Amino acid sequence: MLDLKSLPLPTADEEIWRYSRIDLLQPERFAPAPVRTDIVDPHGVCSTTATSSAVASPDVFAALNAESMSELRVDVPAGRTFEAPIIITHYIDAGTATLPRTIVEMGRDAEATIVEQFVSVESGVALCVPVLSARLDDAARLRYLAVNDLDTEAWQIGHQLAEQGRDTSLLLSTVTLGGYYTRARTEARALGSGSQTRQVALYFAAGEQMHDFRVIQSHEAPHTSSDLLFKGAVQDHARSVYTGLISIDETARQTSAHQTNRNLTLSEGAWAESVPNLDIRTNDVSCSHASTVGPIDAEQRFYLESRGVPPEVAERLVVLGFFDEVIDRLPRVDIVDAVRRRVVERLNIATEEVRP
């Protein structure tokens, strides 16, 4: 049985937890419980087994997940291409601490799309500590989407690790709309020459929510590429943090790596932090980073208002246009349409509240 009362919590004084809400977590409030999971698996490649996979544990929460009793495995055979997505939905009960653990093994020249959703069963505090480990054999192609739709009192502290062989293609995408405090640490390791990595995220925090992203683009082989685009919006008293690192090893010559983080602050009380970093240990590479934090572009809003669009509608249209670039890069699955509707619903609520 997990003993959450004695969990050695980190503090916000540690650099990797800087800006976080970790000091507010009270793990003794949560009762350990098995996660309830539904799986749509048209291809018969998912199985639940006793925990056996060794996954790196960069913090106490990933180490806690290693104490999970079971893991969900997705084994895509070599040479197989799956058109229909595999959809995994975890249901989180209020008052519980759950440890979802998903292991993805992509065989050589295999291709698949995986969607993993986190959904609260009812309102109330909960703690969800998910771990994703994905390994891509040479020439494999994986599109992965994580969707956080937890209650606004729930905590989620997750770790994602992807390791790529030669000539692989990986899309790691995230949509975060839920949670009181949602943190995702993502590490994409390009271990084989010719591997390509794309990372995209859409996050929209309101009320007292906080969304926290820590991302590492690690290049450990030559002729690799990565491209990251994270876009978020905060309103009311919500907060967001993005800390990104491009790390290029001495052997990773002729690498192309780029990261972009854009944030909209929609209310005076909202706050966003963006910290891009580069660690380059060789030359003959192409790298860039860009970040912005600020309100809606006044010129865009004025353009719409000058053509008769009401101010509150103009603001919605600008924000939706801001997010469209990310939505267009998500995997082509039905859930993406629901994501767009959720963003519209949140914008409708916000503009209703500011009307005179």
334 falls within a domain: no
227 falls within a domain: yes
Position 299 confidence tier, pLDDT thresholds 50, 70, 90 = confident
Residues facing residue 58 across a β-bridge: none
How many domains, the chain? 1
136 falls within a domain: yes
Give the DSSP H/E element, type plus range, for residue 326: helix 311-327
Chain-centroid distance, C-alpha 130:
11
- Greater confidence, 308 or 174? 174
pLDDT digits (tens, 9 = 90+) for 247-266: 999 999 999 999 999 999 99
Give the span between the Cα atoms of 96 and 34, in whole angstroms.
Answer: 9
Tell me which residue of 186, 107, 95 sits closest to 146, measured CA to CA: 186
Give the span between the Cα atoms of 239 and 116, in whole angstroms.
Answer: 24
Tokens of 45: 């490649």
21 falls within a domain: yes
347 falls within a domain: no
pLDDT the model gives residue 354: 40
260 falls within a domain: yes
342 falls within a domain: no
Cα 242–Cα 67–Cα 77 angle in degrees, nearest 5: 80
Q: What share of the chain is helix, strand, coil (3-state, %, to 5)?
A: 20, 45, 35
Position 227 confidence tier, pLDDT thresholds 50, 70, 90 = very high
Tokens of 354: 């500011």
Q: Is the pLDDT at 356 greater than 50, yes or no?
A: no
Q: Across the chain, what does the average pLDDT equal?
A: 92
pLDDT the model gives residue 355: 39
pTM for the whole structure: 0.94
Domain that holds residue 146: 4-295
315 falls within a domain: no
